[in-house]
Structure formats: structure tokens, C-alpha cells
């Protein structure tokens, strides 16, 4: 039997590494992966580095490998959140017209924030596809909303400071989350990167629980003086969208019950 071409062999080995991680019940250590895929450590290291760059795998806090951001993004876009994105799109488009800034829609997935929808800024400065970016939740207004309303587990201890403005202390973050619950919206100014500002509010599902976050982001120089205005606008639009999500959820339950009774 002919040996596979060198390029094909590399693809097959990389695929084996990804498959091993995805099928595992918990993140896998480097040595476990190399042994499971029968790879030399140098080969495994080279392939794992490439898979991390491609967002197919990532390492957790202990250095073990788990599925990367692309898997989270795909899952968020192709499961029950499809209906959320469909229902939210008209509201997001209207917010984009009203603010001219980037509008973001995010959902919790495990301990991560996954951005599943976006309406681009009408300005040249500020346009970027955030659905492809893995943003640490503690540096984004969207993430802080999900933290504040228990849609994401709140991290403890010291967090990674991406800029001098990042709220990286757990106690300080808790104080900030308390304010989010008090005023109804979260704000970040220069926390992810200098010059970037975000405002976000919660979206509620059928039982009143927070299922997503809706936000506006853009250059600090344009948004910082409009934070309260944007917070109120987002709150108003989120109220209407949440009511729509709740009606949709109730209708889905009624339809499911009717199907079950019909099958009985």
C-alpha cells in the first residue's frame, strides 16, 4: 500500500489531534495527545501550534488542550441561537441606523462569550468583524452583562489586564457588576484596547432569564460622551426584543406540546 503524500499525512495527523480533543470528556495534556495519536513530541508540538493559530484548538488555564473558538462559533451559529439571531436582526439593523456604530449580539457558551451577530458601523473607523474575535469576557461590555446576570460564571481572583484600564481585580469587577445591575447596562472604556468603547444590555428569554447581550461599540472619542444615551436606547430596544423572544419561546412550547399530544 502506497504511503500517503507528505501534505496529506500532515492533514491526517492534525485531524487526529483535533478529533482526539473534541471526543475527550475533558481537556487533554500534551503528552496524552502525542501518545494517543502516536506522534513524536516534536511533530505533535508543531501541529498543535498550527491548530491553535487556526483557532481549532486552544489551551485552558492548566495548559491542556480543548476545542478552539471556531467550534464555539460554529455551535453558536448552528443551534438554538439561529432563531435568536433571526429575531434580533431587525432590531440590530435599526440600532445601526440610529447610532451609526457597530451593533453586537453575544451569547454565553460555557465560560466564554460568543458573538453570533453583528451590524457593521457606518463609519470607516470602527468597522470590524467581531464574530471572529475571541474577546476576554471581563474586557467587554457584552461579557460584563452576562456576568452581572449570572448567564456566565464570574471569574475569581486576578484577571489578565489587556490595557491599563482593564478591570482585572475580582473585587473591583464585582463592584462594577453591581452597578450594571443597578443602572441596567454595562460600559467598557479602553479595557480591551485603548480607543475602544462599548455599551451593552441584557436580553431575556421565555422564563425571564438573561440569554444574550446586545451592545454597541466604537471609538472611545465618539462614544464616551454618549454612554448614558446609548444605554437608554439599548434598554428600550432590548425590552421590545426580549418580549419578542419570550413570545417566540412560549409559542415554541405550545407547538411542542401540541405535537406531543398529537403523537400520544
Residue 264 lies in a domain: no
Q: Which of 137, 120, 136 is nearest to 218 (CA)?
A: 120
In CATH, what number is assigned to the domain containing residue 54? Answer: 1.10.10.10
pLDDT score recorded for residue 81: 72
Residue 1 lies in a domain: no
Residue 262 lies in a domain: no
The pTM (predicted TM-score) of the whole model is 0.68
pLDDT score recorded for residue 53: 93
pLDDT exceeds cutoff 60 at 13: yes
pLDDT exceeds cutoff 80 at 128: no
Within this chain, do residues 55 and 107 fall inside the same structural domain, yes or no? no
pLDDT band at 70 (very low <50, low <70, confident <90, very high): confident
Q: How many domains does the chain have?
A: 2
Within this chain, do residues 81 and 169 fall inside the same structural domain, yes or no? yes
Within this chain, do residues 58 and 77 fall inside the same structural domain, yes or no? no
Average pLDDT of the residues of the chain: 87
Contact status, residue 200 vs residue 151, Cβ threshold 8 Å: no
Within this chain, do residues 59 and 77 fall inside the same structural domain, yes or no? no
For range 163-178, the mean pLDDT: 94
Q: What percent of the chain has pLDDT over 90?
A: 62
Within this chain, do residues 93 and 201 fall inside the same structural domain, yes or no? yes
pLDDT score recorded for residue 130: 77
Within this chain, do residues 21 and 110 fall inside the same structural domain, yes or no? no
Q: Which of 138, 132, 134, 137 is nearest to 118 (CA)?
A: 132
Within this chain, do residues 25 and 135 fall inside the same structural domain, yes or no? no
Within this chain, do residues 143 and 87 fall inside the same structural domain, yes or no? yes
Within this chain, do residues 250 and 159 fall inside the same structural domain, yes or no? yes
Burial 76-86 (b: 16+ CB within 10 A, else e): beeeebeebbe
pLDDT band at 1 (very low <50, low <70, confident <90, very high): very low
Indicate the residue among 67, 84, 106 that finishes a domain: 67
Within this chain, do residues 112 and 191 fall inside the same structural domain, yes or no? yes
In CATH, what number is assigned to the domain containing residue 98? Answer: 3.30.450.40
Residue 180 lies in a domain: yes
Indicate the residue among 50, 67, 84 that finishes a domain: 67
pLDDT exceeds cutoff 70 at 263: no
For range 83-104, the mean pLDDT: 93
Q: How far apart are the first and last CA of the chain?
A: 56
Within this chain, do residues 17 and 38 fall inside the same structural domain, yes or no? yes
Within this chain, do residues 207 and 251 fall inside the same structural domain, yes or no? yes
Beta strands in the chain (DSSP E): 57-59, 65-67, 102-109, 112-119, 186-189, 196-204, 210-219
Residue 263 lies in a domain: no
pLDDT exceeds cutoff 90 at 150: yes
> Which structural domain, as residue segments, surrounds residue 61?
6-67
Asked which of 37-41, 89-93, 248-252, 254-258 is least confident by mean pLDDT, the reply is 254-258
Q: What percent of the chain has pLDDT over 70?
A: 87
pLDDT score recorded for residue 5: 46
Amino acid at each position: 500500500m502506497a504511503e500517503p503524500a507528505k501534505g496529506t499525512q500532515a492533514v491526517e495527523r492534525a485531524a487526529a489531534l483535533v478529533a482526539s480533543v473534541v471526543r475527550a470528556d475533558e481537556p487533554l495534556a500534551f503528552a496524552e495527545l502525542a501518545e494517543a495519536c502516536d506522534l513524536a513530541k516534536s511533530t505533535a508540538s508543531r501541529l498543535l501550534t498550527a491548530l491553535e493559530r487556526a483557532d481549532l484548538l486552544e489551551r485552558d488555564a492548566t495548559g491542556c488542550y480543548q476545542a478552539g473558538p471556531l467550534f464555539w462559533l460554529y455551535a453558536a451559529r448552528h443551534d438554538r441561537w439561529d432563531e435568536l439571531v433571526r429575531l434580533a436582526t431587525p432590531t440590530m439593523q435599526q440600532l445601526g441606523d440610529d447610532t451609526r456604530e457597530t451593533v453586537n449580539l453575544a451569547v454565553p457558551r460555557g465560560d466564554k462569550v460568543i458573538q453570533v451577530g453583528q451590524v457593521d458601523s457606518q463609519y470607516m473607523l470602527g468597522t470590524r468583524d467581531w464574530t471572529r474575535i475571541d474577546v476576554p469576557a471581563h474586557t467587554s461590555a457584552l461579557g460584563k452583562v452576562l456576568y452581572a446576570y449570572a448567564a456566565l460564571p464570574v471569574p475569581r481572583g486576578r484577571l489578565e489586564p489587556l490595557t491599563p484600564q482593564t478591570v482585572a481585580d475580582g473585587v473591583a469587577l464585582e463592584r462594577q457588576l453591581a452597578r450594571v445591575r443597578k443602572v441596567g447596562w454595562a460600559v467598557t472604556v479602553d479595557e480591551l484596547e485603548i480607543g475602544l468603547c462599548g455599551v451593552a444590555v441584557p436580553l431575556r428569554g421565555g422564563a425571564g432569564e438573561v440569554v444574550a447581550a446586545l451592545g454597541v461599540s466604537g471609538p472611545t472619542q465618539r462614544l464616551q460622551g454618549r454612554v448614558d444615551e446609548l444605554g437608554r436606547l439599548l434598554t428600550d430596544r432590548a425590552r421590545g426584543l426580549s418580549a419578542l423572544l419570550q413570545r417566540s419561546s412560549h409559542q415554541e412550547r405550545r407547538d411542542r406540546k401540541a405535537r406531543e399530544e398529537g403523537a400520544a
